[in-house]
Structure 1
Amino acid sequence: MPYDIDVVLVAPCYLAGPGDPAWVTVPLHRACHWSTAEDPLVPRVILTSPDQLAQLRIAPDPDPAEPWWTLRHAHHGDRRAWSMTFDAHTPVEIIAAVTDALTAPSPRPMASGDPYETLRAAGWHAPRHHDGHTSPQGMTAPDGLARVDRTLHEDGRTASWIVETSVHHLPSIWRAYVDGDTPPHLVSALFGALADKTPLVREPHRVPHLAATHGRTSPGQISAETFAFALERRTTALAQRRTPPPAAAPASPHVPKPRRPR
């Protein structure tokens, strides 16, 4: 008999806690055909794209403030090498937004050249300095708990982004680093995930304390079947992106019936 299970809806998304890494790794392997490097003696996961240019590495570290996730892409043609890193407590849905955009058959172009457009539309604003002036190089979430900063390199040619979620007077919850050579549509995907106001689903025992004290949590119920097969449905949907629709059957030519002789 079908039954429901208890869940918690957490918002904003950046306070929801890490979630299940399989939300990222399973679709990359099964739907996008990234290969895995097996080493039972080392607690890490390495996935490599079919063209051998991109690699996702998950290396657990005793210090949760150190990057656990590293996404790299090698130099190719006129595209410089780039990388992104995410700390252990980064919600997997935010990382998945980037890997989904990376593996999309046809990258979605940015609506404009402004990487902050999505954040502004969601109410993010430029942070103010102590002198009252705003910084055009950064954006802060409406609740002040998440921030994006852009830093210029010494050569003045490229700029990097640092995403940070933190609560006042407490250590950072998680950070992400985005290399300045990262393709714009991937930066846009990351910022779009940060700005998404859709609550994330978590099991009750996996809701971080800070989400309950500084975010918005509400209890809910979903069917056990929906919960159990969510990853499978996600994987199938991503696999279908690469499956061309069936060709339409050619229309049969109209052949007039012969008229009976009188």
Structure 2
Amino acid sequence: MPRVLLSSPDQKALLRLEPDPHGQWWTLNHAAEADRPAWYASFGARTPVELIAAFTDALTNPAPALAASTPSDPYEPLRQSAWQPPTIGADGLVSPDGTAYVQRLGTAQEPGAWFVTASLGPERKPVWQARFGERTPARLVAAFTTALTDPHPAARTDSLRSLPILDPDVVTRRTTDVLAVHVAAALEERVHALTARRTVPPTTPGPPRQPPARNSRSR
């Protein structure tokens, strides 16, 4: 399997893909900044790409303060989607169908890392897990949990090479025909949307300057 290393233009963030069937495939490490210590995020092999993209899109947003659609509390999107605390004395929130669990370790005084775990049900092995360090910006974790609660279906190609459904009682499949031109257009629209975020709006020209009044004398 290929290994990939991607670094941000300022060399502060490094995204590493190291395929490991028993560990986290995607790892992002961010260097310390003046107002924040170093932090990390990692994603297991089967983490849906839509969730990873939501995280990286929020990371690369050049105007995060203007992204009002993303809450600052990672738990807020889950509460709005009827996630509930676990029945047995642990912290965090569980999805209504019991297949996903979001937990933050530590205490209110000393909060720890975030863990997002997906499984096929209680007492079953995880299918994938995402981890965020205690210093990872909350808005990035919230972007991930917002995407996690998105009710829209995840589009996948239907072929002999597709990943099999691990449990047909948990995952619902629906087949539809999509023209290749529409798939290409969707990718192009995404690229344009991300590029548009970095377009600097033109500055509004100020009123033209008036020439200084000349002093005149009348006789």
User: TM-score normalized by structure 2?
Assistant: 0.83
Structure richer in strand, relative to its length = 1
Instruction: Give the aligned partner of residue 140 of structure 2.
Output: 186
User: What is the number of residues matched between the two proteins?
Assistant: 202
1:204 to 158, 161, 165: 158
2:9 to 50, 53, 59: 50
Cα contact 2:70–2:143 (8 A) shared by 1: no
Cα contact 1:165–1:172 (8 A) shared by 2: yes
What amino acid sits opposite 2:45 in the alignment?
A
Cα contact 2:73–2:142 (8 A) shared by 1: no
Cα contact 2:105–2:114 (8 A) shared by 1: yes
Deviates more, 1:212-221 or 1:137-146: 212-221
Q: CA deviation at 1:190?
A: 0.8
Cα contact 2:104–2:111 (8 A) shared by 1: no
Q: CA deviation at 1:211?
A: 5.9
Distance 2:125 2:69 in 1: 33
In structure 1, runs of 5+ residues without a counterpart are 1-41, 253-262
Spell out the pairing of 1:36-47 with structure 2 (5 A cutoff).
43-47=2-6
Q: Does 1:127 align with 2:80?
A: no
SS in 2 for 1:85: strand
Instruction: Give the aligned partner of residue 104 of structure 1.
Output: 61
In structure 2, runs of 5+ residues without a counterpart are 209-219
Q: Does 1:83 align with 2:37?
A: no
Cα contact 1:60–1:88 (8 A) shared by 2: yes
Distance 2:28 2:167 in 1: 27
Cα contact 1:68–1:87 (8 A) shared by 2: yes
Q: Does 1:70 align with 2:23?
A: no
Instruction: Give the aligned partner of residue 114 of structure 2.
Output: 161
Cα contact 2:6–2:14 (8 A) shared by 1: yes
SS in 2 for 1:150: strand
Instruction: Give the aligned partner of residue 217 of structure 1.
Output: 173
Q: CA deviation at 1:52?
A: 0.7
Calculate the aligned-residue CA RMSD, in Å.
Answer: 2.5
Q: CA deviation at 1:112?
A: 6.1
Percent identity, aligned pairs only, is: 42
Q: CA deviation at 1:59?
A: 0.7
Q: Does 1:149 align with 2:103?
A: yes
Q: Write out per-residue CA displacement over residues 98-154 of structure 1, whole angstroms, 9 at most, x where no aligned residue.
A: 00000001113587653211111111111110xxx5x4x21111110111111117x
